[in-house]
A = this chain, B = another copy of it.
Amino acid sequence: MSNPQSEPTYTIGELAREFAITPRSIRFYEEQGLISPARTGQNRIYCNKDRVRLKLILRGKRLGFSLAEVKNLFELYDTNPDSAVQLETMLQLTEQKRAVLTQQLEDITMLMQELDDVEARCQEELSELKRGNIA
């Protein structure tokens, strides 16, 4: 019953190379309940879903999220809530996350501006140097 050319799978080493992290990290994410790959006896086999998860984990980390936070997001995404109460709380959660992201957007634009400032000052000084100023 197994598809002849079912789904692409990956070893831990492959994923580690692709995302430029160590196998140790990937195992750690599993230990924390963020991924749960299949096994061939001892060895881990990662499917596409696992790979996507890894990508999401790293994205979260780049934004300064903790692994617990990322796990939180996963559960948020995976859960298929049956009660209206659950749906409401989920909406509240997404709103919270959205607030964080909005704050980060603001932070980034302000930092970008400051980088512009620094850069502009540099460029100006450089052109002054080229004109051969001493005064």
Contact = CB atoms under 8 A, between A and B. Distances in A.
Range, interface on chain A: 35 or more
A57 B108 CA distance: 13
How many copies of the shown chain assemble into the complex?
A: 2
Interface string A47-73: 000000000000111111100000000
Interface stretch (A5-13, A16-24, A27-35, A122-130): A122-130
A54 to B, nearest CB: 14
A98 interface: yes
A91 B120 CA distance: 9
Contacts of A76: 118
A84 B118 contact: no
Interface in A108-122: 108, 110-112, 114-115, 118-119, 122
B91 A101 contact: no
Interface of A: 59-65, 76-77, 81, 84, 87-88, 90-91, 94, 97-98, 101, 103-105, 107-108, 110-112, 114-115, 118-119, 122-123, 125-126, 129
11 contacts: A63-B108, A81-B125, A84-B129, A87-B126, A91-B123, A97-B111, A97-B115, A101-B108, A101-B111, A101-B112, A101-B115
